[in-house]
Amino acid sequence: MAEGCMRALRYGMVFFNLLFWLGGCGILGVGVWLSVTQGNFATLSSSLPSLSAANLLVAVGTIIMVIGCLGCIGAVKESRPLLLSFFILLLLIFFLEILFIILFFAYQDEIDHHAQKDLKRGLQLFGTEGNIGLTNAWSIVQTDFRCCGVTNHTDWFEVYNATRVPDSCCLEYSDNCGLENPGTWWTAPCYERVKGWLQENLVALWIFALCTALTQILGLVFSMTMFCQAVKVETFYA
């Protein structure tokens, strides 16, 4: 009976980590594709130019693949070192996620202030050589969210040293429409628009976070159960 339960646990662990690994492969593939085709797409920060959608996806995909591989091989071979490594890495990531959430809510006002300040500095790089990722990202955000600037459309006046905005701020897009009457521009602040969109989708974000946490907890339970069983078996035959 115990052997049957152990076999079922091993198969479950292998299946769980195989899905984990395949998910990591998918995320890594999307990240590489974005990096090759779009450059530093979705880079809005001037102080953290490497913090792009492509780089984040590549990093997350790689980490998931490594952890999934450790868990899968560890389950198949019932290797104590691999199972323990999988458990420690997953536990470390779980604690870091909890710490990040606590710090985010504890310093939300400071984060808002710094983020807005950093994004405004990034506006100065809009349309400049070597910053195609930042330029594309701002154009997409302003078009999709129907907004202009970080906190106000006048943020762009300091960038151009003139009363003008990028063409992506226009109610109806056309070449050089950013030079026309301010009445033809979006005036809503992009920071508040994006923040509002996140709040509207807060339930979906929390569901995703809870599913992620549950998946990690199951991985921790499976790996530690197999590790303890492997220790018992080795002690029995010692």
Q: What are the structural domain ranges in the chain?
A: 1-237
Burial class (CB in 10 A: 0-12, 13-18, 19+), 200: exposed
Q: Single out the residue of 127, 123, 128 nearest to residue 45, CA to CA.
A: 123
Through-space distance between the first and last CA atoms of the chain, rounded to whole angstroms: 22
| Cα 204 from chain centroid (whole Å) | 15
The pLDDT assigned to 237 comes to: 53
Q: Read off the amino acid at residue 179.
A: L
pLDDT score of 52: 66
3-state secondary structure of 176: coil
Average pLDDT, the chain: 82
Closest CA to 149 of 51, 53, 44: 44
Whole-model pTM: value is 0.74
Q: Over the Cα atoms of the chain, what is R_g?
A: 24
In the predicted model, residues of the chain with pLDDT beneath 70 are 1-6, 35-53, 233-238
- What pLDDT, on the 0 to 100 scale, is given for residue 16? 79
